[in-house]
Structure 1
Amino acid sequence: MQSTRLNRLLNVILERLKQWLLNPWRRISLLIISLLFGNFVATAVSTIAGQEGYLDVLYALISLVITEILNWLVYGSKGKIARSLGIDILNSFKIGFTYGLFLEAFKLGS
């Protein structure tokens, strides 16, 4: 790419963001926020799917495919992909989503 002012500005912003995210406390806080957001999305998806009624199988298929792709990214390719912050955030979201679906199932079962 050409070295325009916009490209240089974006590169500087991304480098500062990377340096800011190197702090372990910020990394842990982002992972916890992602976990809680996954739990929230699971509650929202199960509520919407319960109200609609005719898209249950489609929602289940989409969540299964996304979960399996994330499992393959995180656990299946140990040497191929480095464990970056983005992969860890997606894994934390997946764990929160799965946990939220289990909680909704327990609420409906009682």
Structure 2
Amino acid sequence: MQNTRLNRLVTVVNTQLGRWLLNPWRRISLLIISLLLGFALALSISSVAGQKANLDVTVALTLSILVEGVNWLAYSSPNRLRQSFWIENLNALKIGLCYGLFLLAFMLGS
């Protein structure tokens, strides 16, 4: 790839973000935020899909495909990719989403 200004800018920003995320407290706090965002996403998806009863099957299929895709990406990839910050955040978002959906199902008794 050519060394353009945009390419250098993206490389510098990525390097600075990587150095900023080396602090374990920042990394853990962003993972917790991602987990809670997944929980909030589960609440909003269930309330939106529950308004129109004809979207239930479509939303369930879409969420199942997304969860299995994230599982495949997080658990069957090489160790270097698995420890990537973005993959860890996506996995935390998935865990929060699944936890929120299970909690809502238990609350509703279904």
Report the TM-score, using the length of structure 1 for normalisation. 0.89
Q: CA RMSD in A?
A: 1.8
Residue 107 of structure 1 and its aligned partner are, at CA, apart by 1.8
Counterparts of residues 30-109 of structure 1 (less than 5 Å): 30-79=30-79, 81-109=81-109
> How far does the alpha carbon of each residue in 1:4-61 deviate from its partner, in whole angstroms, 9 at most, with x for none?
3332222212211111111111110110000000000000000011111101000000
- Taking the aligned partners of 2:34 and 2:84, their CA distance within structure 1 comes to 15
- Among the aligned pairs, what percent are the same residue? 55
SS of the counterpart of 1:54? helix
What stretches of structure 1 move > 3 A for 4+ residues in a row? 77-82
Give distance in 1, aligned partners of 2:79 and 2:100: 30
Residues 12/76 of structure 1: CA separation in 2 closer, same or farther (3 Å cut): closer
* Aligned-partner Cα distance in 1 for 2:66–2:78: 19
* Equivalent residue, structure 2, for 1:15: 15
Partner Cα separation in structure 2 for residue 84 and residue 10 of structure 1: 17
Q: Displacement, 1:79?
A: 4.9
TM-score, scaled relative to structure 2:
0.89
What is the CA–CA distance in structure 1 between the aligned matches of 2:60 and 2:2, rounded to whole Å?
45
| Alignment partners' CA distance in 2, 1:28 and 1:62 | 28
Could you tell me which amino acid in structure 1 is paired with residue 89 of structure 2? I
Change (3 A) 1:77 1:27: same
Structure 2: give runs of 5+ residues left out of the alignment.
none
Distance 2:4 2:74 in 1: 36
Gaps of 5+ in 1: none
Q: Which amino acid aligns with 1:39?
A: F
